[in-house]
Homo-oligomer: A and B are copies of this chain.
Amino acid sequence: MNREYPTSLGASDADSITLLGHDLAQDLMGKVGFGELALWMVTLKRPTPSQVRVFEAVLVALADHGFTPTAIAARLTYLSAPDSLQGAMAAGLLGGGSRYLGVTEDAGQFLASVLAAADTMPTDDVGFDELALTAVRSAREAKKFVPGLGHPVHKVRDPRTPVLIAIAEEEGLRGPHLRLFEAIGRVHPQVLGRTLPLNGAGTCGAVLADLGLPLGLLRGFALLARAAGLLGQIAEEQRTPIASDIYMAVDRNAAYVNPPSE
């Protein structure tokens, strides 16, 4: 018996390369954008220009946030192993876990689960507000955070949020996940007793979920965006190195604490 391994992505023979059932060289290169292709490879369905615009807006929103722990980790790894650029990029992506990059996926999953549990899909803001109120109350009772609420720096308003909503609206892609997220933004103060901003990463999760992307892969788009950002960080490290200074600032300020005596 020969095993076979099915795929609809890339394949090659002597004369041609196929990707997504198309001739890579003739049909895709120069005709399809990179973001468009990334979206297509995940959904297996050619995205519309509106979907591409919304999707790329999300990637642009998530690409780089300056000296994040992941950017610093990538730079330090590049300092240690400059011969292995892939290692520096991988090290940077490895910080894309629950705490920083995870919000995008957590928000998408949370919104999808609330929508899935709703008896009927709301059709107006009043309906979304009701659903949001129940969801925020349940989260509160379960002592859980609502993913996508609050931001350590943008304490009042995350500037990315209204822009993403506007772009989704312009492109006819402001769907139920995003509308529910907006509703959470309106109703949460009456439950939590204080007003938190809808953060950009959470909004990205809502938008990606409205694009129909697999919920278990939303973090992956944040990682793709971040891959571009890390490339920028490493390029800057090549031009204007700071990793060695960071290392020195830590190492030279080590305060030795003797372990408890035995």
Q: Which of A's residues lie within 8 Å of B, judged by CB?
A: 2-21, 23-26, 28-30, 32-35, 37-38, 41-46, 53, 56-57, 59-61, 63-70, 72-73, 76-77, 79-91, 93-102, 153-157, 159-160, 162-164, 166-167, 170, 214, 216-217, 219-221, 223-225, 227-229, 231-236, 238, 240, 242-243, 245-247, 249-251, 253-260, 262
A5–B242 CB distance below 8 A: yes
Complex formed: what's the CA distance from A261 to B8 in Å?
12
28 residue pairs of the A-B complex, CB under 8 angstroms, read A3-B245, A5-B67, A5-B246, A6-B255, A6-B256, A7-B67, A8-B257, A9-B66, A11-B256, A17-B159, A24-B160, A38-B228, A44-B260, A45-B262, A69-B79, A69-B80, A70-B76, A72-B246, A81-B98, A82-B97, A82-B99, A83-B98, A85-B223, A87-B87, A87-B97, A89-B93, A91-B95, A242-B250
Return the contact of A30 from the options B23, B43, B57, B229 (Cβ within 8 A).
Answer: B57
B220–A224 CB distance below 8 A: no
Complex formed: what's the CA distance from A245 to B72 in Å?
13
**Quick one: given A42-B231, A159-B16, are A86 and B82 in contact (CB under 8 Å)?**
no
Q: Which of A17, A19, A73 has the most CB of B within 10 A?
A: A73
Known: A8-B256, A9-B66, A73-B73; 16 extra A-B contacts, CB below 8 A, are A6-B257, A8-B236, A9-B229, A26-B163, A29-B60, A44-B260, A70-B76, A76-B95, A80-B99, A81-B97, A82-B99, A83-B84, A83-B98, A86-B96, A89-B223, A223-B227
B70–A77 CB distance below 8 A: yes
Return the contact of A87 from the options B53, B86, B154, B242 (Cβ within 8 A).
Answer: B86
A220–B247 CB distance below 8 A: no
Residue in chain B with minimal CB distance to A218: B85
B254–A24 CB distance below 8 A: no
Please state the number of chain copies in the assembly. Answer: 4
**Quick one: given A84-B97, A99-B82, A242-B5, are A41 and B250 in contact (CB under 8 Å)?**
no
B66–A11 CB distance below 8 A: yes
Please indicate the chain B residues that have their CB under 8 angstroms from the CB of A25 in the complex: 61, 159-160, 162-163
B259–A8 CB distance below 8 A: yes
Complex formed: what's the CA distance from A156 to B16 in Å?
11
Complex formed: what's the CA distance from A138 to B43 in Å?
40
